[in-house]
Structure 1
Amino acid sequence: MERIDFDQPLVVDGAMATELEKLGVKTDTELWSAMALIHDPQAVVAVHKRYFEVGANVAITDSYQANVPAFEAAGLTPAEGRRLITESVKLAQQARDTYLAATKTKRPLWIAGSVGPYGAYLADGSEYTGNYQLSRQQYQNFHRERMQLLAAAGVDLFAFETQPNFEEAKALVALLENEFSTLPAWVSFSVDQQGRLCDGTSLSKAVAYFEDHPQVVAIGVNCTAMTNIEKRVKTVATVTTKPIVVYPNNGDTYDPASKTWQVNPAAPTFSELVPKWLAAGASLIGGCCRTTPEDIQQVAKVMLKH
């Protein structure tokens, strides 16, 4: 865990599905961006590499919606599903190796293994509601195999991201501590416009719970509106000493029923808002849904000045 220096500002990458769509990958299915693992893995490499090129320090694997039950539901065998989850790490590593060979950069580059919530597997927008209840053991049984595969493939840390459900987040961290003692993780919550976790839990309560869990090396929010970030960072900063991670959407609005986006032409830019997030206390900053390499380049340019 000492290998990753979170005391310096780090640039997290941006959206995967948005860039895959530009490369012709169909993502409006229950597997979402994980479709590319099946049909066009080199497109995943290309997206990761592009984010490294514009200044990202952290690549998040294309495994948010990748889990063995989801692949089985899509008609694959369990063995094929396991291979694809492993492949999500190998593709990010390939992009990193290619970028390093071409640039000889000294910039730290990390691979974060994406662990999306159980709600993402439901593929009904539940990551935006947290409206599901499993036991701690059921949550852990669901997440264990994907985490084992990501760890074995060589991720540098886990990204427990878009977490809407406090009980699930607690189960994930307990699983991390009990079975993955050598790997750190960040925890990033899915929150509403009022700043609560989507299941109604106070953000302050959720963040404070993880303060005494040393394997949780950063904590924050993602997959929310850009204009929601500054207030949330200030809230998080009052109850934790950990580095704060934020990666919002680009301002467009998602309809989980139709799996489509409504463009917001009045959305602010990262160049405008990142200085405010840094001032509020954020130190790991990137983008989530609908963000682009151009957005992450803006993040990197601002953070280079700090």
Structure 2
Amino acid sequence: MPRASGPLAEALGHRTVLLDGGLSNQLAAQGCDLSGGLWSGRVLVERPDQVEAAHTAYARAGAEVLITASYQVGYEAFAAHGHDRAATTALLHRSVALAARAAEAADHEVWVAASVGPYGAVLADGSEYRGRYGLSVRELAAFHRPRIEALLDAGPDVLAVETLPDPDEAEAVLAVLAETGARAWLGYTVADGRTRSGAALPAAFALAAEAPQIIALGVNCCDPAEVLPALEAAAATTRKPLLAYPNDGSVWDSATHTWHAPQAPSPWPTPAWQHTGARLIGGCCRIGPARIATLAARLPREPSAGK
């Protein structure tokens, strides 16, 4: 079956769309080596077949959107590992092509979302969970612009601007999206009812509330318990479809490069998320194909009364 024929934004107007889960955890489950600072980017370089296999696993689980392996791919970071500008551009293109191949082989319609991770992701030190990098909005826009342009050249259905810890970075990405006219969703990572940098959620969501390029707005890579309050803050700010793809509640330790799992995993009240306006729902780190398959079987696809 070919990739989804209609724009994702149109689908979100009348139903819930199921996202995939965490790419890095699935690559690790497949036996891939993610060490060395490039994380899933290392597998993109060395074992592209494994990246496609991970996408295929999620498509078979029922995911309707595959998010590419470009989250940590940045020109500066990859230059430090011996990849020149042309090679890094080729890797960004490869990330979209691999997801597209998996989408085309699926037995249902599947969209491809090109991952635009935050500046902190390419530092590989957990900075995306802290934010406030000491860079200006202009400097952050200069960082994001070339890889967004490279990803767009590869022809994804949408950009997945994800795991942003700070409104300043959202402002920078929104400026680049306005220049390109590209459609995207935007997800903040949150903790304790604020963005990871400590910004208030209403103001953070307000930045993108009316941006014509943004098709959905919400949160990702956070504790599931943080999702509903964040969605409520977003719903009070915008009428756009909302998105929610949390992790399993684990906390990333950047010093040891390990996840600390919660003693009692938080429940996923997906009907409440949908009632609040979530139309893109899936998983992030440590959420694998089995969990996505469960969501595919149980998640109501028609909107509830909330929106």
Q: How high is the TM-score relative to the length of structure 2? A: 0.91
Q: Aligned letter for 1:153? A: A
Question: 1:50 matched to which residue of 2?
Answer: 57
- From 62, 67, 71, the counterpart of 1:64: 71
Q: Aligned letter for 1:50? A: A
- Secondary structure of 1:114's aligned partner: strand
1:246 matched to 2:224? no
- On the 8 A contact 2:16/2:301 being kept in 1, the answer is no
Mapped to 1, the partners of 2:75 and 2:38 lie a distance apart of 11
- From 235, 248, 256, the counterpart of 1:237: 235
Mapped to 2, the partners of 1:136 and 1:209 lie a distance apart of 13
Q: How far is the alpha carbon of 1:303 from its aligned partner?
A: 2.2
List alignment gaps of at least 5 residues for structure 1.
Answer: none
Q: How far is the alpha carbon of 1:305 from its aligned partner?
A: 5.7
Q: Judge which range, 212-221 or 76-85, deviates more.
A: 76-85
Question: 1:157 matched to which residue of 2?
Answer: 158
- On the 8 A contact 1:274/1:299 being kept in 2, the answer is no
Q: How far is the alpha carbon of 1:235 from its aligned partner?
A: 1.7
1:142 matched to 2:138? no
- From 26, 35, 48, the counterpart of 1:28: 35
Q: Aligned letter for 1:3? A: P
Q: How does 1:87-106 map to 2 (within 5 A)?
A: 87-99=94-106, 103=107, 105=108
Question: 1:256 matched to which residue of 2?
Answer: 254
Q: 1:305–1:162: structure 2 CA closer, same or farther, 3 Å change rule?
A: closer
- On the 8 A contact 2:74/2:88 being kept in 1, the answer is yes
Mapped to 2, the partners of 1:121 and 1:25 lie a distance apart of 19
- Secondary structure of 1:112's aligned partner: strand
Q: Aligned letter for 2:253? A: D
1:191 matched to 2:190? yes
Q: How does 1:84-233 map to 2 (within 5 A)?
A: 84-99=91-106, 103=107, 105=108, 107=109, 109-178=110-179, 180-181=180-181, 183-193=182-192, 195-233=193-231
Q: How far is the alpha carbon of 1:268 from its aligned partner?
A: 4.0
The Cα offsets for residues 22-45 of structure 1, whole Å up to 9 and x where unpaired, read as 112111332111111111101111
Mapped to 2, the partners of 1:29 and 1:274 lie a distance apart of 36
Mapped to 2, the partners of 1:19 and 1:294 lie a distance apart of 10
Question: 1:289 matched to which residue of 2?
Answer: 285
Q: Aligned letter for 2:191? A: D
User: Percent sequence identity over matched residues?
Assistant: 38
Mapped to 2, the partners of 1:302 and 1:288 lie a distance apart of 18
Q: How far is the alpha carbon of 1:265 from its aligned partner?
A: 5.2
Q: How far is the alpha carbon of 1:278 from its aligned partner?
A: 1.6
- On the 8 A contact 1:93/1:111 being kept in 2, the answer is yes
The Cα offsets for residues 141-182 of structure 1, whole Å up to 9 and x where unpaired, read as 11111111110101111111000121111111111111x11x
Count of aligned pairs between the two proteins: 294
Mapped to 2, the partners of 1:40 and 1:29 lie a distance apart of 15
Q: How far is the alpha carbon of 1:121 from its aligned partner?
A: 1.5
Mapped to 2, the partners of 1:64 and 1:40 lie a distance apart of 16
